[in-house]
Structures are given as C-alpha cells and as structure tokens.
Amino acid sequence: MKYAEAIRFLYDLQLFGSKLGLENTRRLAALAGNPQDKLRFIHVAGTNGKGSTCAMLESIYRASGLRVGMFTSPHLVAFGERIQVNRQLINEADVARLVQEMQPMLAQFPADSHPTFFEVVTVMALRYFTEQGCDLVIWETGLGGRLDATNIVTPLASVITNIQFDHQQWLGDTIDKIAFEKAGIIKPGVPLITAVDDRAAMGVLFKTAQERNAPFWLVSRALAEEVEVRGFRVPLAGEHQVINAATAVWTARAIAKEISVSDDAMRAGLAGVEWPGRLQTVARPSGRKILLDGAHNVGSAEMLRNALWEFSGAKRLTLVLGVMRDKDWQPMCRLLAPLSAKILLVPVASRRAASTAELAPACREANPAAEVVECVSLAAALERAGYDPFVVVTGSLYLVGEAMELLGLAPAVHADERTLNDWHSPAVSTHDCNVTH
C-alpha cells in the first residue's frame, strides 16, 4: 500500500461518523494484541490547553532521557503530527504499513458497527508506540474523556487542564455535565492533576477523585507563580501558558516515584518546548508580523484577546477570522472584533464552517468602526491584508493549518491529509474578496 492510498482509506473511514463509546476500540485493540498493556501513559484531557500541556510533558520527559511517544489531535497540516516519537512524526511508510495491517482486523466488524476514523487511528498509534519501544506516551483525548477512544488505557496520571464550554452538543450544556465527561478519565488510585478554576467543575472532579481513591492535585495560581520563581520558563507566548507549564511540572512531581525527573530536566524541557499554531508569530521580509492562533472556542478566544495586548501594534491589527458553526462564534466575534481595524472573514474548509455572511453582522455589531470584508478563501484574505503591519489569523485550528501551508511554514501535503480532521471539506475557491455593507 502506498501512502496516498493509506490516507484515502483513512479519509473514507469518516463515512462511519463519530461515535462515543469504548466497545469498538477495546475490541480492535484486542485484535491488535492489546498494545496499550505494554505502555505507560499520561492521559490529558481538558477544554483548552491540553495540546500545549502535552507538548510540555513530552519535552520534559525527553529532556530526562526517555523515549517519548505523543498522540494528539487534530493535526494542523500533516497526518503524522498526530503520532510522534521524540517529536519525530511517524513516517509515511509506517502509516501505509499500519493501515494495511489494520484492514484484516477491520474486516471482522459488521458494517453497522465499523470502527470510526479516530478509533482506528488510536489503535494504530498504540501499535506504533509499542513497536518503537516508548518509555512513556503522552496521550491526549480526542473529545471529552469518559467515552473517548483514548480512555481504554490505565495511565500513571490523569491530567485535566481546565473545563469550559465547548462541544456542548456531545458533552452537555452545563459545566457540570462537561466536567462529568472529562472526569471519566480518572482511574482508581491514579493521581489527578488539574488546573480547573471553575467551582462547579472542581466539585465534580474532586468528588469523582474521592470516589475512585485518586489523589487530587490542584494547580493554583500560587503554584504557578512558585514554578516561575524557581526559574522554570516556557517560550510559548501567553500568560495562560504559565498555568499549563505548572500543570506539566506538578504532573511530573505527582508520579516521581514511577518516573523520576530532575528540576534541571524540567527546566530544559520547558525551555525547549515547541507547539506551532498557538500564538505563533511569523515575521515576514516586509517587516510585518502575522500571528497564528488556533483559538476555536470562547475560552481560547478570551485567552487570545488577553495575549494580544502584549503585542505592539495590537490596536491596529488586521483580523483574519474563520470559525466553525457548531462553536459559540457570536461571543468569539464580540471578544476579537473590537481589537481590529480591519476584519477579513474567511470560510474554513469544512462542512461545519460558519459562513462569512453569518459572521459579518456579528463582527460589525461588535466593532462598527472596523472595515469588515468577506473573502472567499484564506489566500484571498492574506492577499487583501497586503502589507498591513500586524495580521492575526484565528478561529480554527484547521484555518491555522491552512495558513501554515500558504505561508510556507509547512510543506504541502496530500490533498486529503488536512481534511482528515473533518467529515467533509468542500472545495475552497480563490476568487477575490467582496466588501459588504
């Protein structure tokens, strides 16, 4: 099997939709020899910050000399971003081989209960990490926690970064309900480390931890400040990354009896962490700056708004915005539009994308003084931005991935590779922008 064929096979799995539940993943893992039983994990859930926290944990343990696997989603550009060992993406030959090896196992499932894309990729990752002899795997949930395919593992530690509103259609319409789903990763006797600051969510997590006799570690602002005082620094921009760094540090301390990590290794790991597409600043030859941030819900949009005040010229910024319709895009517009002199609205390459016609009135209401422009593609919007000194591209990780390709920050990939993140991605036109009034 060739790599392009493997990507097409994975793409076609999206026909089976998304299903919450562990039965199929457990059965598929059993057919694959239960590779999860041969690995050690740190399981990370949360509404925002879990990817950055995973990157920090990976860097800390790699700095201490371990061979570290990392499983995250979605990918920005290349599928291999989801499955990494010591920050090396799984290569195309291994993707093709693993997909081919999975096919006989998948043939044992009836059509009406066929494993989904995420379930298949989860077991592929487990097999690969086992083959690679990983000492530890940093294991990020896909959606929620309790019924997420990743929840077939028993980790050394469970991490829940924070709990905010997102994916309400699947996880529930209250913080308590969302917290209940996230708390599903808490295992008996396994320590929980969390930076949650919502009282209701904290109550759910604490109660669940008590019921399961799981040690409860709460990362407060005071603990985060202590980490800073002791010289732990992280190069990722944004004040919220201090809390994520503290969460990573206290996770390492919580499991020190299982895996010992020195403070020097923690410092080196945090200092060397990389996580693209999150408050990532790109300096162009013309002198202008383009900031890429995958803020995709209200909580992350608020973090982005706060961080933008740290950047010079923020009051004159040009906002390039594309959002999914199933997100709370109206409050996101209210948070970000007032910072912008010019707002370029673009479609995200997804069936779930909010149209520019939907976004325009919300942005105009939030900032009547701004020039609001509807563009039919991100490429057209970046061209429209011209030589604007400070451009912010945000609203979706999918959009940030597309921007990375257009800006030459990532190599072009197979046509279906980025669209693996979604059920269906319509073709994106490249006509000019239209100013609407």
Q: How many other β-carbons are positioned within 10 Å of the β-carbon of residue 398?
A: 25
What type of residue sits at position 239? E
pLDDT in tens, 302-314: 989 988 877 655 5
The β-bridge partners of 371 are 342
What is residue 265's predicted lDDT score, i.e. its pLDDT? Answer: 96
What is residue 167's predicted lDDT score, i.e. its pLDDT? Answer: 54
Does pTM surpass 0.85? yes
371-374, strands of its sheet edge to edge: 280-283, 289-293, 390-394, 317-321, 340-345, 371-374, 434-435
Q: How many other β-carbons are positioned within 10 Å of the β-carbon of residue 430?
A: 12
Mapping DSSP onto H, E and C, the string for 28-91 reads HHHHCCCHHHHCCEEEEECCCCHHHHHHHHHHHHHHCCCCEEEECCCCCCCHHHHEEECCEECC
Q: How far is CA 419 from CA 12, 123, 167, 170, 320, in A?
A: 11, 20, 19, 21, 20
What is residue 382's predicted lDDT score, i.e. its pLDDT? Answer: 95
CB 347 within 8 A of CB 353: yes
Spell out the domains of the chain, with CATH numbers in brackets. Answer: 3-271 (3.40.1190.10), 280-435 (3.90.190.20)
CA proximity to 57, closest of 231, 227, 263, 269: 269
Mean pLDDT by 10 residues, the chain (437 residues): 94 77 95 98 94 97 98 94 97 98 96 92 98 98 92 98 69 84 97 95 96 96 79 86 94 97 95 93 86 91 86 74 89 93 92 91 96 96 92 94 90 73 40 40
pLDDT in tens, 349-365: 888 889 999 999 999 99
Q: How far is residue 55's CA from residue 390's CA, in Å, rounded to a whole number?
A: 27
Q: How far is residue 114's CA from residue 24's CA, in Å, rounded to a whole number?
A: 8
The β-bridge partners of 342 are 318, 371
- The gap between the terminal CA atoms of the chain, to the nearest Å, is 52
Gyration radius of the chain's alpha carbons: 21
Q: How far is residue 308's CA from residue 315's CA, in Å, rounded to a whole number?
A: 9
Q: How many other β-carbons are positioned within 10 Å of the β-carbon of residue 87?
A: 14
CB 340 within 8 A of CB 318: yes
CA proximity to 241, closest of 205, 279, 268: 279
What is residue 172's predicted lDDT score, i.e. its pLDDT? Answer: 64
Q: How far is residue 217's CA from residue 250's CA, in Å, rounded to a whole number?
A: 8
What is residue 71's predicted lDDT score, i.e. its pLDDT? Answer: 98
For the chain, how many residues are written? 437
Q: How far is residue 298's CA from residue 327's CA, in Å, rounded to a whole number?
A: 8
Which residues have a Cβ under 8 Å from the Cβ of 386 and sit 6 or more positions away? Answer: none
What is residue 223's predicted lDDT score, i.e. its pLDDT? Answer: 83
